[in-house]
Amino acid sequence: MAIVGFPNVGKSTLVNRLTQSRAAVVHETAGVTRDRKELLCDWNGVTFRLVDTGGVDEEDQGPYGRHIADQARAAIAEADLVLFLLDTRAGITPGDEDLATILRAAGKPVIVLANKIDDPRRDVDALEFHRLGLGDPVPLSALHGHGTGDLLDEIVARLPGRDEPVVDESAVRVAILGRPNVGKSSLLNALLGEQRVIVSDVPGTTRDTIDTVLTRDGTTFVLVDTAGLRRKRRQRQGIEYYSELRALEAAERADVALVLVDASEGVVEQDLAVADVARKAGCSTLVVLSKWDASAIDLQETRGLLNRRLRQRPPVVAVSALTGRGLRRMLDHVETLFAKHVTRIPTPALNRAIGELKEARPGPSGERGRRLKLLYATQTATRPPRLRVFVNDPRLMTRDYGYWVENELRARFELQGVPVSIDFQRSS
């Protein structure tokens, strides 16, 4: 990727900004020519080489300097993508027009950057550069950072030659849920920064959503609706972008929900409500105790509490986005949970279990001493599993007995965390 632009538009400032961003790992390599700097940047797992043509000869700094044009041409020739930086305060200069002509002729993908828009309310000022005929200008403040995160996302999206991830039915769709400040964005970013994962973005199914695809050891995870979580981290006045409605939509598209609980604060009622949302949306649930490095709670005790309070009996893992601890194990758990989410219980095994349940606890009795009898069962759907249990008379069913059957089956088939739904139906 090449950065081109006239002196003083802010190229060095932008390079510093891009390479200082938290997710960017920078390796400086010796430039091929004296006044060219090459940097390796890494953004969310995608590596790109940045060629900075900033070091222009002092004596050759006229606006029409041949040197600048030559440098730019050389950089453009090698680049897959060109960042064309302009100074919004100065407006379009004749030199900019020349560079634009070179760029249009080169036919390379270009991102036009309207720099020095320090006040986001002035973003419209960028529109002036439309006139250069190189696409929508991106408003930016290289100095203050406004717009740079979005720019990095745009760069990564526009870089050619990246392998498109294969997202098919076998991909595990994961939603990251939790009340504000539990550490959702931090967890996402820590996951994306893991050494052993490959990351790319794909459009989500609903408008304005972006999903992040993460591949590890041949397993594809689709992190549902990550745009907001990734952007939020860069917002200066952290508004809670991930609203309840948005979270619900994410849960509805997911197989597995990571329900975050802030371990530095302990379990609160709202966490249980989030887990309920996940279960009702049909997600298999993994409770993730976040900020484990700052934990104030006991793991076993918390497991016990969650097991009592949450109907789906979710597995619990402890992680720290800060230290990276537990992340790998968390993904292992997600894989295991997904396998259960899509499980098909063989009918004979299911009916053996029903027989045992019948023995272990007779059904509730109604008026005139008539008792509910479990007869036989079959699985009617998967992802998540849905069972149909035939009984002599469903009107005799009680909530208590229904839950007991659910829990027993969940335990027997090791479906902890999975939202097993059971329809009790009269046998015809």
Strands 284-290 and 110-115: unpaired
7 binds ligand GDP (CB under 6 A): yes
Contact with ligand GDP (CB under 6 A): which of 4, 37, 79, 184?
184
Of residues 233, 218, 206, 219, the one with CA closest to residue 174:
219
5 binds ligand GDP (CB under 6 A): yes
Can you say how many angstroms the Cα of residue 161 is from the centroid of all Cα atoms in its chain?
A: 22
Task: Round to whole Å and give the CA distance between 292 and 262.
Answer: 8
The strands making up 386-391's β-sheet, listed across from edge to edge, are 374-381, 386-391, 421-426
Q: Which stretch binds ligand GDP (CB under 6 A): 7-15, 98-106, 328-336, 364-372?
A: 7-15
- Interface with ligand GDP: number of residues (CB under 6 A): 31
178 binds ligand GDP (CB under 6 A): yes
Point out which residues pair with 202 in neighbouring strands.
Answer: 211
293 binds ligand GDP (CB under 6 A): yes
Site for ligand GDP in 396-425 (CB under 6 A): none
Contact with ligand GDP (CB under 6 A): which of 19, 53, 148, 185?
185
Nearer to ligand GDP, 5 or 314 (CB): 5
CB 363 within 8 A of CB 353: no
Task: Round to whole Å and give the CA distance between 154 and 109.
Answer: 12
294 binds ligand GDP (CB under 6 A): yes
Task: Round to whole Å and give the CA distance between 365 and 377.
Answer: 20
Contact with ligand GDP (CB under 6 A): which of 1, 2, 4, 11?
11
Residue window 213-232: x/- pattern of binding to ligand GDP, with contact defined by CB under 6 A: -------------------x
Site for ligand GDP in 25-54 (CB under 6 A): 54
Give the C-alpha distances (Å, rounded to integers) separating 423 from 363, 411, 426: 16, 18, 10
Residue window 330-349: x/- pattern of binding to ligand GDP, with contact defined by CB under 6 A: --------------------
Q: Which stretch binds ligand GDP (CB under 6 A): 25-33, 111-119, 204-212, 304-312?
A: 111-119
234 binds ligand GDP (CB under 6 A): no
Q: Which stretch binds ligand GDP (CB under 6 A): 5-13, 96-104, 206-214, 416-424?
A: 5-13
Backbone angles phi, psi at 174, to 5 degrees: -125, 130
12 binds ligand GDP (CB under 6 A): yes
Q: What does the DSSP assignment read for 75-139?
A: HHHH-SSEEEEEETTT---HHHHHHHHHHHHHT--EEEEEE---SGGGGGGGGGGGGGSSSPPEE
180 binds ligand GDP (CB under 6 A): yes
The angle formed by the CA atoms of residues 383, 388 and 393, to the nearest 5 degrees, is 155
139 binds ligand GDP (CB under 6 A): no
19 binds ligand GDP (CB under 6 A): no
Q: Note the residues at the interface with ligand GDP (CB under 6 A).
A: 5, 7-13, 54, 115-116, 118, 141-143, 178, 180-186, 232, 290-291, 293-294, 320-322
